[in-house]
Amino acid sequence: MSTEPFFGPDFSALAAQDPDIAAVLLSELERQRTNLQLIASENFTSPAVLAALGSTLSNKYAEGYPGKRYYGGCEEVDKVETIGIERAKALFGAEHANLQPHSGASANVAVYQAFTKPGDTVLAMSLPHGGHLTHGAKVNFSGKWFNIVSYGVRQDNELIDYDQLRDTALEHKPKMICSGATAYPSLIDFEKVRAICDEVGAIMWVDAAHFIGLVAGKAIPSPVPYADVVSFTTHKVLRGPRGGMIVSKAEHAAAIDKAVFPGMQGGPIMSAVAAKAVALKECATPAYQEYAKNVITNAKALAAGLVEEGMRAVSGGTQTHLALIDIRNSGVSGKVADQRCGDSGITLNKNSIPYDPESPAVTSGIRVGTAATTTQGMGVPQMREIAALIARAIKDGEDPAKAAAIRGEVHDLTAKFPVYPR
Ligand SMILES: *Cc1c(COP(=O)(O)O)cnc(C)c1O
């Protein structure tokens, strides 16, 4: 079994001790290297981030915050968390940062806890229009414990209807208004949302999980100057370890910190906190800013390519890293397209489009993102090629021979842009 340098020096020890797991790690690496990774929430994090994640910081209990821990021996992890907090504040121009949430969903649990009580009214983006599970899904704590009132996009232009948002806010007087989504290709007008929050006296919460990496790279406007609180994941465009983070105004610092610990979590995962700090340093470089710009350029090119193939880009295209594509013209559902693309070596996901006549399990659309392929170094010519491959996979991917042929072309393409070079 080969050793892989970025698994760290102990990979050969793992391979010797546990060949079952080592084999899976290697085949997952091979899958990431050879398929096209178009899931809008995925990326390839750096070997430096992986090294911090795989470090002995994983062994350390550190309940509490730097200088105020419930365990001894926290001198070293205190340094790591302090560096990370300072980097987050500097990168986002934020007054306060908390790096401890284990995930985006966990960060959101903390936000609800910091600003609301069970039963309170919260306004959030409707799930069928792109909102996240934690924005009020009936199966999620948010939908079970809160009175969630939804707003959506207009049917004609598929953009957030700020007039409807304001009317709904005036009618329901929410404690908090959430903006941000998992499948919204356009920019959000944070100034307008702030004005509505001020008018009704609501906390302005931005769930920036998807697009915070573009903010970090200064490629799109930041919600931080407007929002009371911004929660996000660190593993999407931001390209850090899997995890969550919260930044806020100083006046909310104590409430946020208490909501994360002891409100929601026990000990932070200090190896992940260190890896977040490493990613934040990477985000502050000109190279990352160039990357963030290219992610958007590529998403626009990919969406345009799919439109040329006869599909429809929801809201007329994209201003971010992701595009939502209405594929009804192709005659197959999102579910079937997802399956056929998967069989052809193209990893993407089915997705509801606004006012979708199909159920969420079937859908009329697909969602594609360019965070991962851009990290690989692909550019506009490759996006055109990928659009053609997706169109062929949707049309022909049911035929195993044709799917295999497309898979071969996908492998040729990805081989030219190696992920984690050997
Ligand atoms: C991805 C995402 C989350 C959840 O992040 P997890 O790390 O998967 O828990 C929350 N909100 C939005 C808008 C997201 O896109």
Residue located via tokens 């769930």: 207
Active site residue 326: no
Q: Per the structure, how many domains does the chain have?
A: 2
- Are residues 306 and 211 both part of a single domain? no
- Chain centroid to CA 233: 6
User: Is 79 inside a domain boundary?
Assistant: yes
Q: Select from 45, 122, 215, 233 the residue to mutate for testing ligand 1; criterion: most ligand atoms less than 8 Å from CB.
A: 233
Structure tokens at 34: 């050879």
Alpha-carbon distance of 225 to 191, in angstroms, equals 9
User: Is 310 inside a domain boundary?
Assistant: yes
**Nearest 5°: CA angle at 253, between 75 and 223?**
115
pLDDT value at residue 4:
55
Residues with CB under 6 A from ligand 1: 41, 103-105, 108, 132, 134, 180-182, 207, 209-210, 233, 244
Active site residue 166: no
Boundary residue ending a domain (257, 283, 309): 283
Q: What is the CATH number of the domain that holds 319?
A: 3.90.1150.10
User: Is 252 inside a domain boundary?
Assistant: yes
Active site residue 290: no
Q: Could you say which of 134, 233, 347, 373 is catalytic? A: 233
Active site residue 242: yes
Q: Residue 169: which residues within 8 A CB-CB, separation 6 or more?
A: 123, 177, 196, 197, 199, 200, 202
Q: Whose CA is nearest to atom 4 of ligand 1?
A: 104
Q: Select from 43, 45, 182, 320 the residue to mutate for testing ligand 1; criterion: most ligand atoms less than 8 Å from CB.
A: 182
Residue 266 CA to ligand 1 centre (angstroms)? 20
pLDDT value at residue 2:
45
Q: Which domain holds residue 173?
A: 53-283
pLDDT value at residue 6:
52
Q: Which atom of ligand 1 is nearest to the CA of 236?
A: 1
Alpha-carbon distance of 233 to 186, in angstroms, equals 19
Indicate the pTM of the whole model: 0.96
Looking at the chain, how many residues does it have?
Answer: 422
| Long-range contacts of 330-335, Cβ-Cβ distance < 8 Å, separation of 24 or more | 330/391, 330/394, 330/395, 332/394, 333/358, 333/362, 333/363, 333/364, 334/358, 334/362, 334/363, 334/364, 334/365, 334/366, 335/361, 335/362, 335/363
Residue 214 CA to ligand 1 centre (angstroms)? 16
Q: Whose CA is nearest to atom 10 of ligand 1?
A: 104
User: Is 395 inside a domain boundary?
Assistant: yes
- Are residues 135 and 266 both part of a single domain? yes
| pLDDT tens, per residue, the chain with 422 residues | 344 555 555 788 888 899 999 999 999 999 999 999 999 999 999 999 999 999 999 999 999 999 999 999 999 999 999 999 999 999 999 999 999 999 999 999 999 999 999 999 999 999 999 999 999 999 999 999 999 999 999 999 999 999 999 999 999 999 999 999 999 999 999 999 999 999 999 999 999 999 999 999 999 999 999 999 999 999 999 999 999 999 999 999 999 999 999 999 999 999 999 999 999 999 999 999 999 999 999 999 999 999 999 999 999 999 999 999 999 999 999 999 999 999 999 999 999 999 999 999 999 999 999 999 999 999 999 999 999 999 999 999 999 999 999 999 999 999 999 998 87
Boundary residue ending a domain (253, 283, 313): 283
**Nearest 5°: CA angle at 57, between 54 and 61?**
135
- Are residues 144 and 166 both part of a single domain? yes
Residue 125 CA to ligand 1 centre (angstroms)? 14
User: Is 41 inside a domain boundary?
Assistant: no
Alpha-carbon distance of 412 to 364, in angstroms, equals 30
- Are residues 174 and 309 both part of a single domain? no
